Structure formats: structure tokens, C-alpha cells
Amino acid sequence: MRVDRRLLQFSAEDYLPKELIMQLDLTANELLTTTRSVRKRLNLERTVGSAVLRECVEIALQAPTGSLRQDWHFYVSNDRDQCHQVGEIYREVWLKLASDQYIESSANQQTSDESRQDYLNMMGSARHLAEIFPKVPAIFVPCIDGRLDGADAGTQALKWGSVIQAAWSFMLAARLRGLGTCWTTVHLQRERDIAEVLGIPYDTTQQVALSPVAYTIGQEFKPGRRKDIDQFLHMNQW
């Protein structure tokens, strides 16, 4: 018996009222500090329903936008064929860019043994994501209406300064619903190929990033390790 593949894009949550879609019990501070780049703890088997993806985009639309123009588009897909094709492109680009020689050379440029190990751990995690990307159940591609090739700094600030915080709002909303995401950009090396796979009009729409979307394996995440605040904070003087 043949099964319509479109039916596989839906999950039980697609048939629930919005107020019944699962949300984690997180305070605002917990949400903001534990929304991590999830690479190794993505559930590749569980379907991500269309309803929860749509809800995350609805929240993203509330983000600040320059001059209230909303010059953005958000492509989400839980079509396994699309996700696989995009994932294969991502994997090919990442593995080509991040050779073992490149990783070792970059690691040796770190200023301490601790930072070197942190870098190697991060790149190991990033390699894992590249290898599994063709299997992720959903993707999120924030886009800008129009292309910024040769645009002046003010125009770029207006455009980027609208879509990035909207994309972050999507990721926060996803985290609250038990979903993991990870901001990546290496696919832009082959942006036109991604556009062809997804049907995005390349000449009039610029992709900003690509994120996997999947339910996480476990829901507990800790704040990331960061350098001391006094290296970056300038209070009343530089």
C-alpha cells in the first residue's frame, strides 16, 4: 500500500488546539540562557508538525523590524525529501571547508589550552551536525526580501537588523516547545542551489541562515561558558 508522503509531515500536535501544544516550564531568564546551538541532541526520528512550526513563526513576526517594513520571509520545511536535499548540500559544503588541516591550524591559533580544547570540541560538534544534517526532520531558513549585493551600510543594517532578531525569536519559541535549533551559514556558499531545491526566488530573495529543527533528546540545557563580562561591557566609558 502506498502512503501519501504529505501525510508524513503531520504529527499528533497538528490536530491539537494551540494552547495544548507542549511548552516547557522555563522562566524568561532560563529560556534566554539555555537556548543553545543544538547539534548532538537532535531527535532525527520524531516528526516536527506543521502547527508547531507555524506557531514559532507567528511569534517571530512580533520581533522589532526597521520602519515596520517586515522585509523578511521565513521558509520552514518538514518535508523529508527537501530536508534531505538541503542537508546533503550543507554536509558537502561543510566537509569541504572544514578539513582536518584547517581545524588543526585554527586550533593552534587559540591563545590558551582551554580555548584550544573548546574550539576542538565545538568543531567536533559542528562536524557531527554536518554528517547528520541530511536526516533532520525540519529546517528553518530566514530570508530578506531583496538582495543586499553592493548595498550601503545603512540599508544593510536596516535589513539585517530586522530579520536576525526575528530568527532568534523563532529559536526561543522553538526551545520553549522542546525543539532544538542551530544557526548556521555555511550553506550560503551554495545559496543558489538551496534556492532551487526549495523554490526560493534567488534573484529577489536573500537567504540569511539555515537551522535544523528537531525535538531535543532530553530537555535540560545549561548556560554556555562565556568569557568574563568585563572584557566586553563598557559602562559610561570605553
Instruction: Answer yes or no: is pLDDT of 222 > 60.
Output: yes
CA neighbor of 88 nearest in space, from 193, 185, 183:
193
Position 69 confidence tier, pLDDT thresholds 50, 70, 90: confident
Position 77 confidence tier, pLDDT thresholds 50, 70, 90: very high
pLDDT score recorded for residue 111: 82
Four-residue CA torsion sign, 194, 179, 79, 200: negative
Domains of the chain (ranges; CATH) run 37-219 (3.40.109.10)
Q: What percent of the chain has pLDDT over 70?
A: 92
Rounded Cα–Cα distance for residues 26 and 228 (Å): 25
> What average pLDDT score do residues 30-36 get?
97
pLDDT score recorded for residue 18: 56
161-179 tens-digit pLDDT: 889 999 999 999 999 999 9
pTM above 0.85, yes or no: yes
Instruction: Answer yes or no: is pLDDT of 194 > 90.
Output: yes
Four-residue CA torsion sign, 7, 12, 14, 16: positive
Neighbouring CB atoms inside 10 A of 215's CB total 24
Mean pLDDT (the chain) is: 90
> What average pLDDT score do residues 103-115 get?
84
